[in-house]
Amino acid sequence: MEELSFSDLPRIFFNMDVMEGQWSLLLSGMWVTLEIAVISIVLSTVLGLFVALIRIGEDKLLNVLLIAYLEFCRATPIVVALIVVYFGLPFLNVTFSPFASAVIVIVFVHAAYIGEAFRSGILAINNTQTEAARSLGMTKFQTLRYVIIPQAFKLVLPTLANQWTGIIKDTAICTILAITELLKAAQIISTWKANPTPLVMSTVMYLIILLPLTLTTMKLEKRRGSKN
Amino acid sequence: MTEQLSQNEPLLSVVDLVKNFDDLCVLKNITNEFHEGEVVSIMGPSGSGKSTFIRCLNHIEEPTSGKIYFDGIEVTNPKTDLDTVRRDMGMVFQNFGLFPHLTAIENIMLAPLKVKKQKKAEARNFALKLLERVGLSDKADSYPKQLSGGQQQRVAIARSLAMKPRVLLFDEPTSALDPEMVREVLDVMTSLAQEGMTMIVVSHEINFIREASSRVLVLVDGEVIEDGPSKEVIDNPSHPRTKEFLGKIL
Amino acid sequence: MMNTKKRGKNKYSTTIISSVLLILFFIYFLFFSNADWSLFKEQFLNFEKMEGRYYIFISPFFLVLKISFFSCFFASLIGLCFAVIRNYNFKILDMLITSYVVLFRSIPAMVLVVLVYFALPFVGLNLPSTNSVIMSLSLLFGAYTTEIFRSGINSVDKLQIEASKSLGMNSLKTMRFIILPQAMRVVIPPLTTVLIDVLKTTSIAYVVGVPELIARARQMEGVIGSVTPLIFVSILYFLIILPVVILSSRLEKRSRKWSKA
């Protein structure tokens, strides 16, 4: 390769000629990424809340099962889980579409983490409040719904935002499946045009989605830190 | 039952109440009755089981054995819907237990709105009246953190009153307060007593007990060692343990 | 908790609902997903076919450990340096480091790994794939360790710094002998969490052709016609990561006790 000077960098990394006519593929990739992300965020948050509610329910067997589930998720890389679900299950005649595999794996893993976050949030709320609510004749469900969860949610928000960021980041791992999400789209164009600009552009798009979330998370973390 | 002669049935009665924590026996066969309009104080040295006793009454603590009847309903029966029973038994806690994410008035309105399904305007009007009654009209929109301990406790009392309970249970309502705030809470309690509210109060505030309450139970090691009119018990205790205990706190 | 023995009609409602849902899910999976479970042992746990092939996983196993070790090492180095620099409050450096942290907390690991691997050759930098992965992971996790070390340094009482200065120690010595030793104790539990994440993230290296565990498993999968190698690799990952998970939660518990005391 010939000597490169600093002035060559824009031609290599920000070559808009390369991008001509390719934006639509990149944008449709981004759309797929957002779809996976939003569906996974909603499902894993709901499931996580559910996991937390079961865990504070003090049923021994379910608790043991859910702890095993959590430890399993902590110790399994998402790549491995994705490959097992997408490439492995068809050996049992169970076939999920790449999109479904992505959502299933991401939700499964992140629900465990989100559940743990909610649980610690719920446990952080002192017991007198539960007693006070129950002494007013509120049911267990009403106590959770109106007293515990609103506070737990606020407490957990930084952790939750962090998990959501993690979910969006993990969608990029789905590039190993046969699905044209943002990163895959960029790779396709990059290979075809023999230029890294599409990859750089996809990185910028990821940043456009993720930077605001990261900044919010950091602000929330700081606020929580200063409160303690 | 000893008081078969009394014309009206007791509002709340306790029969052979026992509470064990693991091997520790905290309450030993307590039997007693509380009538409508009565203000009963419970005192005793720390660890004597007073808090456990009052927490058993609305079943926030589950008794090991024994029966509790409230207005003819057996609270201790597993088939009883506790949530319905608890609506009629207000409770005020040592640590207030206000919900920190809600303002004072929202704290008061929550249960009427969600449990009694009252209309918002109705609940709000009543909540404002209650706040006025505890002298905190101007604090309706303050959050618990912005209130002093005494103010928080007064909001907690108003919150219990919002459900129009037939009996109010107080679990050491002033012991977490700075001395200068005790007065304002006791004033509210005294005026409630004068209005005929049925109250059961765990407290060591001798003046309140003498002025406002009609009867005193002295609880030592899980047993009621003395039960009689407040003034009599305080001025002329018969049991040596009561004398000893009163000597310490007076 | 109140009402430890639940009672009345609410007795086991949550438990029942959730158990029913769990069971329904399994029933669905067992019977209605057309899964052919008779194939399960043959396809997923067919360790006979793997006999004599386990040696193939030895070098990738150590490769995963190597990538994790170096990534963690460089990430901690970055974190420590940046945190110490930030402690001195130079405005411009502060801004630069903060932007680094925000930027690298926002880039998905997969994107960075692919970008570094595919883009750098265009400027004449031909890193071996393993090194490009180590570089990406170090940069990514450096953002997290910077914050970890910073909060560790901040956790040290200001009074001690003033005290050590009054003893005539310069700020470098104060950092070296007073602040860092104490910060270490605060820093180690969250660092083990980073270690777990690094270990898991190394699996991404598979995408850029690093001959690590998953790549090998997928090759073998083609040869023997069974997913068993993949299952074997996930067990391996599990065995590598689980001790760190246990260590991490233990350290966290201890540090919580420590901070309470």
Q: pLDDT at residue C186 above 90?
A: no
Partners of residue A225 in chain C, C-beta under 8 Å: 151
Of all residues in chain C, the one with the smallest CA distance to A6 is: C123
Give dist(CA A155, CA C33) in Å, integer: 39
Question: Does the beta-carbon distance from B114 to A138 stay under 8 Å?
Answer: yes
Q: Is A7 contained in some domain?
A: no
> Which chains would you list as touching C if contact means 3+ CB atom pairs under 8 Å?
A, B
Provide the residue range defining the domain that includes A190: 22-227
**Among C174, C220, C182, which Cα is nearest to C47's?**
C220
Query: Contact B79/C8, CB-based, under 8 Å?
Result: yes
Q: Is the pLDDT at B6 greater than 70, yes or no?
A: no
* Average of per-residue pLDDT across C110-133: 88
Q: In which band, very low, low, confident or very high, does the pLDDT at C45 lie, cut at 50, 70 and 90?
A: confident
User: Could you give the number of structural domains in chain A?
Assistant: 1
Q: What is the pLDDT of residue A59?
A: 77
Residue C238 contacts A, CB cutoff 8 Å: yes
Q: Are B67 and B16 within 8 A, CB to CB? A: yes
Q: Calculate mean pLDDT across residues C212-233.
A: 87
Residue A10 belongs to a domain: no
pLDDT of residue C34: 66
Average pLDDT over residues C6-34: 62
Residue A152: exposure state from Cβ atoms within 10 A (0-12, 13-18, ≥19): buried
Alpha carbon distance B60, B43 (integer Å): 20
Residue A15 lies in a domain: no
Residue A219: both structure tokens together? 């602000």
The pLDDT-based confidence of A19 (bands split at 50, 70, 90) is confident
Q: pLDDT tens, B119-144? A: 999 999 999 999 999 999 999 999 99
Q: Taking CB atoms and an 8 Å limit, are C14 and A214 in contact across chains?
A: no
Percent of chain A scored above 90 by pLDDT?
56
Task: Give which of A19, A47, A52 is closest to A156, Cα–Cα.
Answer: A52
| Interchain contact A140–C (C-beta under 8 A) | yes
- Asked if the model's pLDDT at residue C155 lies above 50, the reply is yes
Residue C63, judged by CB atoms within 10 A of its CB (0-12, 13-18, 19+), counts as buried
CA nearest to A216 within chain C: C102
The interface predicted TM-score (ipTM) is 0.89
Delineate the domains of chain C, giving CATH numbers in brackets. Answer: 54-260 (1.10.3720.10)
Q: Does the pLDDT at position C41 exceed 60?
A: yes
Of A12, A169, A171, Cβ closest to residue C122:
A12
* pLDDT attached to residue C6: 39
Q: Does C26 touch chain A (CB under 8 A)?
A: no
CA distance C9 to A139: 11
pLDDT score of C29 more than 80: no
Q: How far is A156 from chain B (nearest CA, A)?
A: 14
| pLDDT reading at C2 higher than 70 | no
Evaluate whether residue A169 is within a structural domain: yes
Strands (E), A130-185: none
Q: What is the mean pLDDT of residues B134-160?
A: 94
For residue B95, list chain A residues with Cβ-Cβ distance below 8 A.
126, 128
Indicate yes or no: CB of C111 within 8 angstroms of CB of A76.
Answer: no
Sign of CA dihedral B186, B190, B196, B200: positive
In a domain, A48, yes or no: yes
Q: What is the largest CA-CA distance in chain A?
A: 80
Tell me the Cα Rg of chain C: 25
Per-residue pLDDT at A147 exceeds 80 = yes
Query: Does residue A110 belong to any structural domain of this protein?
Result: yes
Give the distance, in angstroms, between the CA of residue A115 and the centroid of all CA atoms in the same chain. Answer: 13
- Residue in A135, A142, A147 nearest the CB of B91: A135
- Cα separation, A160 vs A167, whole angstroms: 10
Classify residue A44: in a domain, yes or no. Answer: yes
Q: Tell me whether strands B39-43 and B65-70 are parallel, antiparallel or unpaired.
A: unpaired
Residue A65 clears pLDDT 80, i.e. is over it: yes
Percent of chain B with pLDDT over 90: 62
C52 compared with A158, residue with greater pLDDT: A158
> What is the residue-averaged pLDDT of chain C?
83
Judge contact between C174 and C153, C-beta under 8 A: no
Q: Looking at the domain assignment, is residue A104 inside a domain?
A: yes
Band (C20; pLDDT cuts 50, 70, 90):
confident
Share of residues in chain A with pLDDT > 70 (%)? 97
Query: Closest-CA residue in chain B for C4?
Result: B62
